[in-house]
Chain A
Amino acid sequence: GQNIDQPTEMTATEGAIVQINCTYQTSGFNGLFWYQQHAGEAPTFLSYNVLDGLEEKGRFSSFLSRSKGYSYLLLKELQMKDSASYLCAVRAPYNTDKLIFGTGTRLQVFP
């Protein structure tokens, strides 16, 4: 089966950098996604990692280590609008359309 863990809540200050970790255990790794979800809204796609290393996309970067079953999402130059939940998800090993979501991390950015 799959098991995906994230910290439940994090806080940070506007302008700072925050790293949100995700550890996973899966019977067959096939890709990892990060999504952002504001309260009461649909999740939106942020990043995708399938190979080890860092993927950078503007203020957001995502890192993957397959040997460690570990990923993180790095948010730089935090803005108030970054206050949201961040969801880590891995593809199901037997169905590349299906995603298994982690517990999600609620990030609150303070002025």
Chain B
Amino acid sequence: GAVVSQHPSRVICKSGTSVKIECRSLDFQATTMFWYRQFPKKSLMLMATSNEGSKATYEQGVEKDKFLINHASLTLSTLTVTSAHPEDSSFYICSAPTGKTPNEQFFGPGTRLTVL
């Protein structure tokens, strides 16, 4: 089946720094990828839709200048958390639709971000 990878799996950073998370579709092309945030024991909250070759579409309440998304190729989307603060600490997961019926999402393994 389709594989989506994320890097890094864990990152710890100081408050005020920026962190980049990569999401790759390894054996298929994805013109669209999705970025989610998940708090402990909570469900997935969609942050934004990453569109290859165009601007990302952000969900209501998500700061686009805070969470920069770049989808430069058909297999790579990046999420950069700028000027991270402790409240940005969370589990970030990306996904990509398979493009085949029923077009389920394949999810990356997630990135645990801890901001000190």
Contact = CB atoms under 8 A, between A and B. Distances in A.
Interface of A: 31, 33, 40-45, 48, 50, 85, 87, 95-104, 106
B75 to A, nearest CB: 16
Nearest to A103: B43
A100 B46 contact: yes
Contacts, number: 55
A45 B97 CA distance: 11
A101 B109 contact: no
Contact of A106 (B4, B41, B44): B41
Given A42-B93, A98-B34, A98-B46, A50 B110 contact: no
A29 B97 CA distance: 18
Given A31-B102, A41-B109, A41-B110, A97 B32 contact: yes
Contacts of A33: 102, 104-105
Main secondary structure of the interface of B (DSSP, over half): strand
The 9 closest A-B pairs by CB, nearest first: A104-B43, A42-B107, A48-B102, A45-B104, A97-B97, A101-B44, A42-B109, A101-B43, A43-B107
Contact of A40 (B4, B44, B110): B110
Contacts of B104: 33, 45, 48
B103 A96 contact: yes
Contacts of B97: 97
Contacts of A98: 34, 46, 49
A97 B49 CA distance: 10
Interface string B95-116: 0010000111111111010000
16 contacts: A33-B102, A33-B104, A33-B105, A40-B110, A40-B112, A41-B110, A43-B93, A50-B102, A98-B49, A99-B46, A99-B105, A101-B36, A101-B46, A102-B43, A103-B42, A103-B43
A51 B60 CA distance: 30
B23 to A, nearest CB: 11
B114 to A, nearest CB: 13
A98 B102 CA distance: 12
